[in-house]
Structure 1
Amino acid sequence: MSAKILCPTDGTDHSMVGVAKAAELARLTAKPLRFCVVNIAHGGVKGPTISHWTPEQVREILDLAVTKAKGCGVADVDGIELIAREPGPAIVAYADQEGFDQIVMGTGDKHGIKRLVLGSVASAVAGSAHCSVLVARAS
């Protein structure tokens, strides 16, 4: 089994909680860490497919995550863009295809009864991933 960590991020505060946890785990275990940004594809069929973020925005999100991880002492870290219509299945498929043994991701700051439920992407990933999933909740 390979030993590497995948961390999806979209640059939001709650996803950065996942970035911090993934960096901590990668540093403690000396596992390689890869960040991914799922750039949601809109349109298609009869019109052009339009990505949610520009290439510059994707690079900015990935650079932020990589910089944070390197600042935490992670040596083996990089990032990749995934283009898909649904982020959850795209993350799971990529993790399976590339042999990741851990997915670490953040979930949104929820209050009250909603705090008992994961965000939809985190829930989709945790419910269908072939490997362990650590969901870090923003406080």
Structure 2
Amino acid sequence: MVHKILCAVDGTKHSDKAVQFAAELANKLGSALTIATVNVMIGGARSGAIYSLEDSQVQNVLEAAARIAADSGVKNVHTTPLRSREAAAGVVTYAEQDDCDIIVTGTGDKHGLSRLVLGSVAADIAGKAHCTVIVAR
């Protein structure tokens, strides 16, 4: 049985699609939906932690995603800001700690060299997660 769904978002159109999919899934299965975004640490080795986003930006991303889920009829929606050195690691760690059954994430349209250079957070999540991962397009 699927009790908890985690949807990883970053405020892009791709993550909006993931939220819509996760919301539909949560509605069909009667599952709780948690929406998370990772504020990635980009500094801090010697000078203290520096994150890629301001706290207000993280909150805006989460609120926008929660509105999408609520508009889709999900009644049991939670949001959580995460902090990590790597986005995928933050999502996977949270999913394990919160005993999530499914992770839903979006993905961009990376091809060729940009895919090799930039990597893919969705692929990293799928490769490291303890549970089912759905990549929404």
TM-score computed with the length of structure 1 as normaliser: 0.89
The CA deviation at 1:44 is: 1.0
**1:106, CA displacement in angstroms?**
0.5
Pairs aligned (count): 134
Superposition RMSD on alpha carbons, in Å?
1.9
8 Å CA contact 2:2–2:31 kept in 1: the answer is: no
Structure 2 residue aligned with 1:37: 37
What amino acid is aligned across from residue 131 of structure 2 in structure 1?
A: C
Alpha-carbon distance between aligned partners in 1 of 2:26 and 2:46, rounded to the nearest angstrom: 43
Q: Gapped runs of 5+ residues in structure 1?
A: none
Match of 2:55 in 1: 55
The range that moved more, 44-53 or 31-40, is 44-53
Aligned-partner Cα distance in 2 for 1:114–1:71 = 34
Question: What residue in structure 2 maps to residue 75 of structure 1?
Answer: 75
Match of 1:84 in 2: 84
**What residue ranges of structure 2 are gaps of 5+ in the alignment?**
none
Q: Distance in 1 between matches of 2:112 and 2:58?
A: 33
TM-score (norm 2): 0.90
* Structure 2 residue aligned with 1:126: 126
Cα distance in 1 between the residues matched to 2:111 and 2:129: 26
| 1:96 Cα deviation after fit | 0.6
Give, in angstroms, the shift of residue 110 of structure 1. Answer: 3.9
The percentage of aligned residue pairs carrying the same residue is: 46
Measured after TM superposition, the shift of residue 72 of structure 1 is 0.3
The separation in 2 between residues aligned to 1:74 and 1:125, in whole angstroms, is 24
Q: Which residue of 1 aligns with 2:11?
A: 11
Alpha-carbon offset, residue 94 of structure 1: 0.8
